Amino acid sequence: MNDPIVASSPKKIRQNNEIAALRALHRAGRLSRADLARIMKLNRSSSGHIIAELTADGLVREVEEEEPVRKSHARAGRPGVLLELVPQAVLFVGIEIGVEHITCVEIDLAGTVVNVKTEPFDGPQHNAEKAIRHAIDLSLSGMPKDSLRRLEGVGISTPSQLSRDGTIHLAPLLGWKNVNLVELARNELPVKVPVMVENDANAFAIGAGYSGPELNEGVTLFVVMESGVGGGILVEGRLLRGAHGLAGEIGHMYIGGEAGSEQNLEQIVGLSSILSSYRAVTDRRGTSFDDFLADVRDRAPDAVSIAENWAKALGYALAQICRVIDADRIVLGGSVAKLYPLVAARLTAHMKSAQEPSFPLPTLLLNREAIYGSAFGAACMVHQRYLSPESNRFVGDA
């Protein structure tokens, strides 16, 4: 309704096309100029010009044919020389300020993780300014000057309500309120680079979408289940932020129960809830979630019953959510998601029973690689920005 009101000019066309080329290369990995021309529906000569410029800028290079002679080209004609992004050309940093730790991730132009650092951190003990200083110190310490010059953006993720301009309204878990993280980070950074802030669950969704292109079509709900339960929504690859960056934050949805006795999702399917139920039925102290999983796997009745409750509550919630956003797929992540494969059929059954038969169910997927948490997603945000018309590559034009 309101986007394409700003027009293009010859210069902007080239910019857009360079971006499109970078994105295509990012997605496909390696492409020839001719491939690129086909993808972008451009003439081969134009594609050549664009690549020439990007090569001059040091962002793209021809791949040196490692494999000496690659037979079986299958196709007649002169083979194209493959192009690829120059990973080292630029650098992006993602920072997750959590309640218990700070994680920093570095990714390169290709979106590959090149560095990870984690450190315990007592979030509620620090105010926002100290936390940011600490986090930026951690992320940039030991980074060679050369890398710092290649830094093109810093993304930050925190468990918080964010207004659209990057101000934290409220971060209950950290005890922060009304702070402009973007500003704080800009003041703390030794270089002037774009800074973006996002809710942790949303950052996670962006990161997951980055690793799985198939998640960028239609509507995808990401659910992260640890002690808390959060989530994010991707619509056609774009994050659905909502008015306060809280879209997808489903941990506090009410599950069953009449007024007064309501329980929220997090209180039923969260890690601490499962553990306390499990510890109540096993006499052993200090049993871990893995012990619980093992018991479920062995069909120990008490454990199975807890798992069944989990599946029921989660299924109910997911069905409700699908009534609202009609998701194509739901990705379950976080350590608690490891329970899913054991009760997949039950969860599906409960989802079915919470809808009319005619309502189509989404596909359920398990996310296995959430190793870097939302720090990776935070880095992806600035990577994404670099490959967009807002990129800082284009400073100094009308």
Partner DNA sequence: AGTAATATGTTGCATTAAGATACAATTATG
Partner DNA sequence: CATAATTGTATCTTAATGCAACATATTACT
- The pair phi, psi for residue 231, each rounded to 5°, is -175, 170
Q: With b meaning 16 or more CB within 10 Å and e meaning fewer, what string describes 326-344?
A: ebbbbbbbbebbbbbebbe
User: Closer to a second copy at the Cβ: 6 or 345?
Assistant: 6
Interface with DNA, residue 77, by CB under 7 A? yes
219 binds, among a second copy, DNA, none (CB under 5 to 8 A by kind): a second copy
Interface with DNA, residue 324, by CB under 7 A? no
User: Closer to a second copy at the Cβ: 39 or 281?
Assistant: 39
d(CA 270, CA 123): 20
Q: Which residues pair with 365 in a beta bridge?
A: 331
Identified binder of a second copy from the candidate list 105, 327, 339, 378, rule CB under 8 A = 327
Which window, 37-45, 80-88, 91-99, 125-133, contacts a second copy (CB under 8 A)? 37-45
User: Closer to DNA at the Cβ: 6 or 243?
Assistant: 6
Output the six-digit token pair for 78.
């002169």
Interface with a second copy, residue 23, by CB under 8 A? yes
Interface with a second copy, residue 292, by CB under 8 A? no
Identified binder of DNA from the candidate list 81, 294, 366, 371, rule CB under 7 A = 81
Cα dihedral 251, 289, 202, 233 in deg (nearest 10): -70
Helix (H, G, I), strand (E, B) or coil at 107: strand
Q: What is the nearest approach in angstroms of DNA to the Cβ of residue 55?
A: 9
Edge-to-edge strand order for the sheet containing 329-333? 238-239, 229-235, 219-225, 329-333, 363-366
List C-alpha distances in Å: 72 to 34, 79, 285.
Answer: 19, 11, 62
Counting Cβ atoms within 10 Å, is residue 31 exposed (0-12), middle (13-18) or buried (19+)?
buried
Phi and psi based region of residue 242 (left: phi greater than 0; alpha: psi -120 to 50; beta: remaining): left
245 binds, among a second copy, DNA, none (CB under 5 to 8 A by kind): a second copy
72 binds, among a second copy, DNA, none (CB under 5 to 8 A by kind): DNA
Phi and psi based region of residue 73 (left: phi greater than 0; alpha: psi -120 to 50; beta: remaining): alpha
Identified binder of a second copy from the candidate list 147, 242, 291, 394, rule CB under 8 A = 242
Token pair 């690129």 is found at 36
Identified binder of DNA from the candidate list 71, 145, 284, 368, rule CB under 7 A = 71
Q: What is the nearest approach in angstroms of a second copy to the Cβ of residue 231?
A: 9
Q: What is the nearest approach in angstroms of DNA to the Cβ of residue 3?
A: 17
Interface with DNA, residue 48, by CB under 7 A? yes
User: Closer to a second copy at the Cβ: 210 or 292?
Assistant: 210
Interface with a second copy, residue 166, by CB under 8 A? no
Interface with DNA, residue 57, by CB under 7 A? no
Interface with DNA, residue 43, by CB under 7 A? yes
Which window, 36-44, 141-149, 179-187, 364-372, contacts a second copy (CB under 8 A)? 36-44
Q: Which one, of 335, 392, 342, 389, lies nearest residue 14 by Cα?
A: 389
Q: What is the nearest approach in angstroms of a second copy to the Cβ of residue 237?
A: 3
User: Closer to a second copy at the Cβ: 125 or 388?
Assistant: 388
Helix (H, G, I), strand (E, B) or coil at 76: coil
Q: What is the nearest approach in angstroms of DNA to the Cβ of residue 108?
A: 24
Counting Cβ atoms within 10 Å, is residue 349 exposed (0-12), middle (13-18) or buried (19+)?
middle
